[in-house]
Structure 1
Amino acid sequence: MTEKNTGIVLYTKAYSDKMSIAHVYTEKYGHISYAVPLQQGKKSRILRTLFTPFSILGIEADHRPNRDILRVLDAHIAIPLPQLHYDPIKNAVSLFLSEFLSRILREPETNPSFFAFLMQSVQLLNHTEEGKANFHICFLIQLSDFMGFYPNTESFEKGSFFDLMNGIFTFHIPDHPYFLPPAEAERFYTLMRMNYTNMHRFRLTRNERMEILERMIEYFQLHQPGFGEIKSLEILKSLFD
């Protein structure tokens, strides 16, 4: 059955000499895998250029229940994002976040509120100038809420540790190595106030930003089994150097 859907591209990888597989978070079905043809025809070449990370597409596909990979019949840009792929910082951030999401959004479960958040975030990244270097940190803070392990900030008191494994602030040193000492825990607590409206007010050095990001990745790794390593993190590091 031919069906139309709106989706946000997470990543694309080669599958065979005839097709690549595009992983897309869609409005109707959540995470969907689409087969994108690799033939040399004009239509195939156009399709390949569309499926880049964080592109927002209208997709027409051969939708059949119980099939893991759906065949793309046609696709078009649903919302143009000209800055996202030409601004080096925004492009690096989009590559990083799309890879990050690909480690989390594995099951084909629909979530309208998350899809709306992701749509808003991608468009905001395209338009944002002031504070764009903090965008990925702000995004991950909000993502932890959707994933169900947003830190319990109500437990914070000055001088407390932050237990990364249990997501709480505590005066007792945890009996495992995954925690932040008081100074770092207080900085982490302050970051929890960051949102898209005020992220430009957080003045972070390059080293501070990378330390925070590494800690946040560690936090997600502890709460998402099989999360693995983020390869595009090196792109961010080199860009901000």
Structure 2
Amino acid sequence: MAIDKNETVHAISIGFVKYGESSLISTCYTLEYGTQSYMLKGILSKGKKKVSKSFFEPLNLLELQASKNPENRLGYVKEVKLHSPYSSIPYDISKKALVFFLSEVLLQIFREEQGPNPKLYLFIKKKLIWLDTQSHLGIFHIKMMLELTKFIGFYPNISNSKAPYFDLESGCMSYVKPNDHFIEEPIKSYWIIILGTAFDDLKDIKPSKKQKAELLDKVVLYFVLHLQQFKPPKSTEILNEIFKTP
């Protein structure tokens, strides 16, 4: 079958799976086409290669020379380069754990949200570049997940912020205690504060270790309730351990 000519594609590497003995299939979120899968043929074989596996580490920002066939099946990558190389993420164990967790979240989001969304792509790219420059990471992952809901249709409605409960199923504040899946004080106040705080000011929010873990659990549950196939990321417990300090 005929393959389209190579074109420049701007991509965020989300994850990959092994294919055969020496190849990988990489999932990327692209500016131009949304979610795309690429065959990285022979990338695990010995010897010199134009394309290295290291380019496709979680949430790397890439510029690809890639081809794509008319049926929108697997594309093929001819050349790749880092579009915005990170200066700290690859060398910081906490940041690496954080981007691995976020890649698990994004992989599940992009299974359901496959089409192009330039605003979402640029938001993720901007925040990853921001993360690379930061030293205080305490609740970045929680804020990031909440902000992602703006783009996928279930951003929390906190207009009645004085109500004692946040109903995770309806996504709204409630004066009546919900039967299941809700947030109350003191977590409710942190939930509202985080939603109203800019990324640059997150360092001023300092929940306890227990509160931070509960906040993350509630955000993950919020995703489970609103995205049909979403499952809690496997790296959640590891992330809670790494980010146990304020």
Q: Deviations over 1:79-137 (max 9, x none)?
A: 110211111111111111111100101243111111110110110111111x3122111
Partner Cα separation in structure 2 for residue 231 and residue 183 of structure 1: 26
- Equivalent positions of 1:8-27 (< 5 A) are 8-27=12-31
CA RMSD, 1 decimal: 1.6
Aligned length: 237
Q: Deviations over 1:31-74 (max 9, x none)?
A: 11111123223116x52111100111111112212132111111
Other-structure match for 2:221: 218
Where do 4+ consecutive residues of structure 1 move more than 3 Å? none
- Unaligned 5+ residue runs, structure 2? none
TM-score (norm 1): 0.92
Instruction: Work out whether 1:235 is the aligned partner of 2:238.
Output: yes
Partner Cα separation in structure 2 for residue 22 and residue 97 of structure 1: 16
Give the AA of the match of 2:189. E
| Structure 2 counterpart of 1:207, from 207, 210, 226 | 210
Partner Cα separation in structure 1 for residue 151 and residue 39 of structure 2: 28
User: What SS does the corresponding residue of 1:132 show, helix, strand or coil?
Assistant: coil
Partner Cα separation in structure 2 for residue 15 and residue 216 of structure 1: 33
- Equivalent positions of 1:1-241 (< 5 A) are 1-37=5-41, 38-43=44-49, 46-106=51-111, 107-129=113-135, 131-158=136-163, 160-174=164-178, 176-241=179-244
Quick check: 2:64–2:79 contact (8 Å CA) kept in 1? yes
What is the percentage of aligned positions where both structures have the same residue? 28
TM-score (norm 2): 0.91
- Unaligned 5+ residue runs, structure 1? none
- In 2 relative to 1, CA 182–206 (structure 1 residues): closer, same or farther, beyond 3 Å? closer
Q: What is the CA-CA distance between 1:218 and the residue it aligns to? A: 0.2
Partner Cα separation in structure 2 for residue 182 and residue 132 of structure 1: 24
